[in-house]
């Protein structure tokens, strides 16, 4: 176990609090293992009726996975330890998705990458005025994994493709509007919400509804038509051409944003979401995402993207291939190809 996750029971409620505030509660492998072990234990405990998932302190719910660890793996052990991290993290994502007891995630603060992966499978997902939700992986040569393909491909219109490619940050009102959050509560009501859920774990829906307020007008709503029009194609070059043809500030801004992203992983994300939309089993989605992760981890763009954006903060990644045209269908096919049978991802 690890002190980076606080695990308690309060009466009939299990309680998991992420506790790595200096890293905005970014997930490490021991954290994933501790959470999985607690969930497994409570699944067989008739006295536990529901599970609360939150963070102990600080301004983030969970900023993602341990990116520095993954880059070190890509550079120094051929991706072996990184693949182990993805494999077990995805098992946790699937475990939460299939969990038979009610789960409540409090997405108060930064909720990105790996944080999305543990929040979205929960039956109840609470956003607040502090929520900042994003899947920003294409900016570091990764892709919206941890089940991102499943969730983003099931949003209305082409919003999921827009979020996957641009890494746009959503506030709590936008999360509620899009259905990424089930409830919108003021942050100062969260302590009361948790206390009442602990006292009455069979009344979660009612408690959250009673404490909910009407969120502010979601900013993204005004841009939905533009998003659906410009991001309509699953071909990345078509999206770029559509934005280039539009002479307005919004299109110019989104085009500039896409210019900072890895062309390889933008194409990966579009294929990922198109494939995810055809699947009817979350486990099949996670197996596909593990194949992608296993290969993208050791492609040049990941280590370079982390260097430029996170490590050196120079924001000058040298992508390879450098252009969308340089990313061949054969390259993408190879990233999605099945792994050897003994290397494929499997649920817990």
Q: What is the CATH number of domain 5-343?
A: 3.90.226.10
* Residue 99, token pair as written in the block: 């969990």
Q: How far apart are the first and last CA of the chain?
A: 18
**Residues 179, 13, 207, 216, CA torsion sign:** negative
Q: How far apart are CA 307 and CA 299, in angstroms?
A: 14
**Is 316 buried (19+), middle (13-18) or exposed (0-12) by CB count in 10 A?**
exposed
114 is catalytic: yes
Annotated active-site residue 326? The verdict is no
User: For the chain, what are the domain ranges?
Assistant: 5-343
**Active-site residue identified among 60, 65, 79, 141:** 65
pLDDT, tens digit only, all 348 positions of the chain? 579 999 999 999 999 999 999 999 999 999 999 999 999 999 999 999 999 999 998 889 999 999 999 999 999 999 999 999 999 999 999 999 999 999 999 999 999 999 999 999 999 999 999 999 999 999 999 999 999 999 999 999 999 999 999 999 999 999 999 999 999 999 999 999 999 999 999 999 999 999 999 999 999 999 999 999 999 999 999 999 999 999 999 999 999 999 999 999 999 999 999 999 999 999 999 999 999 999 999 999 999 999 999 999 999 999 999 999 999 999 999 999 999 999 999 999
Instruction: Indicate which residue of 137, 171, 289, 301 is catalytic.
Output: 137
Annotated active-site residue 160? The verdict is no
Answer yes or no: 65 catalytic. yes
Please give the pLDDT value at position 1.
58
Give the Cβ contact number of residue 101 at 10 Å: 16
Q: Give the number of other Cβ atoms within 10 Å of residue 218's Cβ.
A: 18
- Which pLDDT score is estimated for 59? 83
C-beta separation of 211 from 185 below 8 A: yes
Residue 267 near residue 236 (C-beta atoms within 8 A) = yes
Q: Helix crossing, 282-296 with 263-276: angle to 10°? A: 170
pLDDT value for 291: 98
Cα 108 to Cα 127: distance, rounded to the nearest angstrom: 6
Catalytic residue among 113, 114, 139, 305: 114
Region for 191 from its dihedrals, namely left if φ exceeds 0, alpha if ψ lies in -120 to 50, beta otherwise: alpha
Q: What share of the chain is helix, strand, coil (3-state, %, to 5)?
A: 55, 10, 35
Cα dihedral 154, 224, 117, 55, rounded to 10, equals: -140
Query: What is the pTM (predicted TM-score) of this model?
Result: 0.97
**Residue 322 half-sphere exposure toward CB, CA atoms < 13 A:** 2
pLDDT for residue 2 = 73
Write b or e for each residue in 110-147: b if 16 or more Cβ atoms lie within 10 A of its Cβ, otherwise e: bbbbbbbbbbbbbbbbbbbbbbbbbbbbbbbbbbbbbb
User: Among the options 66, 89, 145, 254, which is catalytic?
Assistant: 145
Find how far residue 99's CA is from the centre of its chain. Answer: 18
Contact of 269 with 165, CB cutoff 8 Å: yes
The backbone region for 157, taken as left when phi is positive above 0, alpha when psi lies in -120 to 50, beta otherwise, is: left
Choose among 243, 330, 332, 242: nearest CA to 292.
Answer: 332
* pLDDT value at residue 58: 81
């Amino acid at each position: 176990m690890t002190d980076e996750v606080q695990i308690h029971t309060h009466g009939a409620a299990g309680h998991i609090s992420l506790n790595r505030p200096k890293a905005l509660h970014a997930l490490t492998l021991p954290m994933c293992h501790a959470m999985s072990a607690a969930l497994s234990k409570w699944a067989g405990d008739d006295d536990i009726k529901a599970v609360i998932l939150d963070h102990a302190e600080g301004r983030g719910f969970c900023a993602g996975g341990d990116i520095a660890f993954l880059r070190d793996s890509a550079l120094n052990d051929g991706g072996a330890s990184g693949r182990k991290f993805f494999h077990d993290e995805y098992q946790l994502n699937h475990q939460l998705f299939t969990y038979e007891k009610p789960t409540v995630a409090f997405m108060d603060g930064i909720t990105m990458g790996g944080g999305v992966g543990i929040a979205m499978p929960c039956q109840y997902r609470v956003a607040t005025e502090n929520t900042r939700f994003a899947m920003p992986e294409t900016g570091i040569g990764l892709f919206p994994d941890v089940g991102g393909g499943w969730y983003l491909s099931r949003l209305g219109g082409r919003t999921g493709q827009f979020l996957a490619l641009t890494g746009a940050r959503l506030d709590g009102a936008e999360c509620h509007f899009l259905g990424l959050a089930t409830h919108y509560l003021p942050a100062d009501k969260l302590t009361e919400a948790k206390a009442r859920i602990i006292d009455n774990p069979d009344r979660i829906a009612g408690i959250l509804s009673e404490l909910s307020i009407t969120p502010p007008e979601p900013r993204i709503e005004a841009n939905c038509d533009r998003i659906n029009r410009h991001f309509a194609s699953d071909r990345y070059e078509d999206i770029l051409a559509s934005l280039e043809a539009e002479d307005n500030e919004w299109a110019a801004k989104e085009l500039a944003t896409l210019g900072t992203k890895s062309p390889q992983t933008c194409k990966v994300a579009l294929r990922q979401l198109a494939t995810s939309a055809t699947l009817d089993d979350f486990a099949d989605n996670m197996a596909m995402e593990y194949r992608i992760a296993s290969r993208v981890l050791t492609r040049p763009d990941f280590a370079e993207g982390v260097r430029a954006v996170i490590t050196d903060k120079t924001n000058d990644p040298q992508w390879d291939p450098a252009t969308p045209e340089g990313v061949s269908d054969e390259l993408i096919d190879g990233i999605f190809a099945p792994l050897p049978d003994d290397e494929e991802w499997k649920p817990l």
